[in-house]
Structure 1
Amino acid sequence: MTLGGTRATISARIAALMMAAVFLAGCVASSGDNPSPSASAANYTDSAEATPATRASAAATRPATTPATASTPVAAQPASLPAGEAAAVSALTAVSTPGSDGYRVGPLDVLNITVFKVEDLTKTVQVSESGSFAFPLVGDIQAAGRTVSEIEKDLAAKLGSNYLRNPQVTVLVKEYNSHRITVDGAVNKPGVFPMQGPMSLLQSIAMAGGMQEVAEGTILVFRRVDGKTAVAKFSVADLRSQKASDPDLQAGDIVTIPSSDLKIGMRYIFQSVPLFNAFMLL
């Protein structure tokens, strides 16, 4: 190839890269002048049954039926529920939240059981798939669907009927393995994670290795409430600056981090900058 041909090729490449940079700068300016009305607020709406990816797409394009402020927690009732059911939703939240007094034990949870002054009856047990566990002297104890207080009373009654006088039984949940959340989208380690106790939205992102550079800056949370799917949208900037409270998650929640096509395009442009600078040196 002649020197003239080489210079013409270099000039064409430079021109193409400059045009791409100008186009992206215009897109950034345009998006800055027209911010999304829901970018800093949590908006709730119902969502049809679908995969997390399709639900996220639908949530991004479908208007929310009931807007809420950025400080509204995920556990707030969705637009589809009558106002009179707010108390029921609140109670449901307490029952399904690890660490709460109303938490009900589930299969695969691990329990620490202590009988005061009886070391041989201090045990760590795991609830079986069928929802029960075996305990010395009394046999199988049903645990799934019951609070730790109910399990304590059942154990004390059975031990006190034949073996001990006024036994003092303490039951604590060591691992909440029956309660899991899903984190997917633009995170470094997407997956399904057990809730080892109360977990906030930002804690779930940290558990998934943090957000990738191409993350859009919003978080979508999908939750089943009263047989329907509710969707909440949060601004990452508002959560980190504490303009919005960091809400607690519930078992079964799906956290999705959308990616930004604009950021993806800019990343590829930036990867070509060293080549562009090399051309400028010729």
Structure 2
Amino acid sequence: MNTAMRLFALLFAVLAVAACGSSGRENADVTAATQVASYALPVGQAVAPAEDYRIGETDLLKVSVFRVPELSFDQLRVDSSGNIQMPLIGTVRAAGLTPSELSASLTSQLGARYLRNPQITVTVVEAASQKITVDGAVTQPGVYEMRGRTTLLQAVAMARGPSGSADLSSVAIFRTIDGQRMVAVFDLGAIRNGEAEDPIVLGEDVIVVDTSTLNAGLRAAISAAPVLTLFRLF
């Protein structure tokens, strides 16, 4: 067993142990993992917008200040400390903010001293710092860099698609939310057929495509977790 698989086995085992003693999906005491099954997501539900993306170190941004080309940049790199350098106001914190939050910050700082009612738009051109892990029944498991807004279907495609043993009805996204490890399960086949919306994946997500040979701990954790009606994002 390679290092990556040992890591996932350990994760799944922890989730399974935390779920021990539960009597099934209705047990509200199970908090180690929270599941959203694909059948709990109504067809046509809106997916998370690109604004849910949080800027990271070394990301490439586009900053547009309406009618002020001197303050507009088609390519502005976030430095390794998570900051950008803007004329007039200098160092501005960017990492950890959504594009709209950074736009609001720039608007406040420029509007306070230099511009009247500035209109500023921030766009992520390249999300170089955001990585996801795709594992399980895929052709090429590994860690991949996201380039801007990325959906579950696109993430699996990065790993050269599902392998022959994949169970497309059971594709899990593991995510840490407020310090809690959570998991949502989606039907990739339904997404491909346009019967379900394609969810957005975020940096540091771990995507596992199920297979009949997958670690039993994952199955135990998923089956023990309560079902919600939505995938709760940040």
TM-score, length-normalised on structure 2?
Answer: 0.62
Q: Which of 148, 158, 164 in structure 2 is aligned with 1:207?
A: 158
In the alignment, which residue of structure 2 is the partner of 1:174? 125
Provide Cα deviations, 1:174-225, integer angstroms capped at 9, x if missing partner.
Answer: 2233433210123223222233344332221112111122334442322223
Amino acid corresponding to residue 58 of structure 2 in structure 1: L
Q: Match for 1:146 among 86, 92, 97?
A: 97
CA RMSD of aligned residues (A): 3.6
Task: State the structure with more CA Rg.
Answer: 1
Residue of structure 1 equivalent to 2:223: none
Q: What 5-or-longer segments of structure 1 have no aligned partner? A: 1-49, 74-93, 262-282
Residue 38 of structure 2 is matched in structure 1 by 70
Q: 1:120 to 1:197 in 2, by over 3 A?
A: same
3-state SS of 2:156 partner: helix
Higher strand share: 2
Specify the alignment match of 2:183 in structure 1. Answer: 231
Q: Does 1:121 align with 2:71?
A: yes
CA shift in 2, pair 1:215/1:139, >3 Å = same
Say which SS state the counterpart of residue 51 (structure 1) adopts: helix
Q: Distance in 1 between matches of 2:116 and 2:182?
A: 50
Cα deviation, residue 113, structure 1: 1.1
Quote the residue 1:110 is aligned against.
60
Kindly indicate whether residue 14 of structure 2 is the aligned counterpart of residue 51 of structure 1.
no
Task: Report the residue type matching 2:156 in the other structure.
Answer: I
Q: Report the secondary structure of 2:70's partner residue.
A: helix
The alpha-carbon distance between structure 1 residues 58 and 234, as it changes in their structure 2 partners (threshold 3 A), is: farther
The worse-fitting range, judged by mean Cα deviation, of 241-250 and 121-130 is 241-250
Gaps of 5+ in 2: 1-5, 27-35, 42-46, 214-234
SS in 1 for 2:39: coil
Question: Higher relative CO (CA 8 A, sep ≥ 6), structure 1 or 2?
Answer: 2
Report the residue type matching 1:174 in the other structure.
Answer: V
Alpha-carbon distance, 1:140 to partner: 0.9
Q: 2:50 aligned with 1:99, yes or no?
A: yes
Q: Distance in 1 between matches of 2:179 and 2:62?
A: 33
Tell me the equivalent position of 1:18. Answer: none
Output the CA distance in 2 between the equivalents of 1:168 and 1:236.
Answer: 40
| Residue number in structure 2 paired with 1:188 | 139
Quote the Cα distance in structure 2 between the aligned partners of 1:229 and 1:177.
24
Contact kept? 1:98, 1:197, Cα under 8 Å = no
Is contact 1:72-1:245 (8 Å) kept? Answer: no
- CA spacing shift, 1:216–1:178, aligned 2, 3 Å: same
Residue 254 of structure 1: how far off its partner (Å): 0.8
1:187 to 1:107, Cα distance in 2 relative to 1, 3 A? same
- Correspondence for 1:79: none
Quick one: distance in 2 between partners of 1:104 and 1:59?
27
Alpha-carbon distance between aligned partners in 2 of 1:237 and 1:167, rounded to the nearest angstrom: 45
Q: Does 1:254 align with 2:193?
A: no
Cα distance between partner residues in 1 of 2:15 and 2:7 = 12
Aligned residues: 189
